[in-house]
Amino acid sequence: MATTSVISTQGQTYQLQAQSEPQKNGSSFDAISCGGYKYEGIPDIKDPYAKRQWQLEHMAGAFRVFARKGYTEGGSGHISLRDPVDPSTFWINPLGKHFATLKASDMVQVNEEGQVIGGNKVAVNSAGFMIHSAIHKARPDIHAACHTHSPAGKAWSTFGKPVDILNQDSCNFWNCQAVYRSFGGVVLEKAEGENIARALGDSNRVLFLQNHGLLTTGATVDEAAYMFTLLERTCEVQILVESTGLEKNFIDDDAAEYTHKLNADPETVYADFQPDFEYEVWKSKGEISKGI
């Protein structure tokens, strides 16, 4: 079944039809490339210890991307990564270390009780542990989550509502946004972390923490990180749009759903993050990859 959009230009009205499902080469990820060569997606790493190292390197890269984009705010902000060796534990960044300096060997492994059990034996952010532990426990499908106090995210969070679907990029957030409206101060209590996880729900990928900021999730740290950078930019763009006072034109649900299916699947989002990740690897001269 095709979707239909209506456009008007120079006094004429046209109907445009689009496929309801991406069809090229059988998957939405394949549809982003052409030329007869396959674009390599998420690697299938069988050895869980090798997979751990690979993920921690990408986690370090994500932090450096966040630093370059200006998401640092003192000691606030964290990324977590479910451990592939022991999935009941996860990795998180050390407390008080700048995002721009982080490498794989800096990451800290914690268990469900918040005890440091592996990696870098240093303190972690208590609020970060409370938020991320609750999310990882509630959502087995989530392997990584990101939260920072980014400028546009903080600004838009004051409205306590999701972003509108106003452009192609914002279609990544079609039908997967949630809002947590009960800001209760710094998250230092287990119940508050559980409330945040409950607000995220069973299938949403991003969460607006009212009067606080953004939280994004993914099957890989690359997915969670790219969704964060895209959501931050989407908030920035919407604030610009709102500042004009002009009437907004929204993307209709059929077109938004089609674009979401094409652009927001985990493989495609992973691929979208690779240019930023590879740039940070190049800038670090391999420092990011220093192992645990």
Please, what's the b/e burial string for 147-169 (b: 16 or more CB within 10 A of its CB; e: otherwise)? bbbbbbbbebbebeebbebbeee
Q: What is the mean pLDDT of the chain?
A: 90
Q: Which two tokens stand for residue 243?
A: 């500042």
Over residues 34-63, the mean pLDDT reads: 94
Residue 75: CB partners within 8 Å, gap ≥ 6? 95, 96, 125
Query: Alpha-carbon distance 270 to 222, whole Å?
Result: 5
pLDDT tens-digit readout, 17-41: 444 444 444 566 777 778 888 888 9
pLDDT given at position 65: 98
Q: What is the pLDDT of residue 9?
A: 38
At 64-74, the pLDDT tens digits run 999 999 999 99
The predicted pLDDT at position 20 comes to 45
**pTM for this one?**
0.90
**Average pLDDT of 50-62?**
98
Q: How confident is the model at residue 115 (pLDDT cuts 50, 70, 90)?
A: very high
pLDDT attached to residue 93: 98
Residue 54 · residue 48 · CB < 8 Å: no
pLDDT at 87 > cutoff 50: yes
In this prediction, residue 291 has a pLDDT band, given cuts at 50, 70 and 90, of: confident
Predicted confidence band at 121 (pLDDT cuts at 50, 70, 90)?
very high
- Percent residues over pLDDT 90 in the chain: 80
Q: Answer yes or no: is pLDDT of 13 > 90.
A: no
CA–CA separation, 38 vs 231, rounded Å? 28
pLDDT at residue 6 in the model: 44
pLDDT digits (tens, 9 = 90+) for 216-271: 999 999 999 999 999 999 999 999 999 999 999 999 999 999 999 999 999 999 99
pLDDT at 187: 67
- Residue-wise pLDDT tens digits, 126-145: 999 999 999 999 999 999 99
Tell me which of 104 and 36 has the higher pLDDT.
Answer: 104
The order of strands in the sheet holding 213-218 is 116-119, 108-110, 90-92, 78-82, 144-148, 213-218, 206-209, 177-180
Using the structure block, give the residue that is written with the tokens 């790219």.
226
Convert the pLDDT of each residue in 192-204 to its tens digit: 999 999 999 999 9
Q: Count Cα atoms within 13 angstroms, Cβ side, for 130.
A: 15
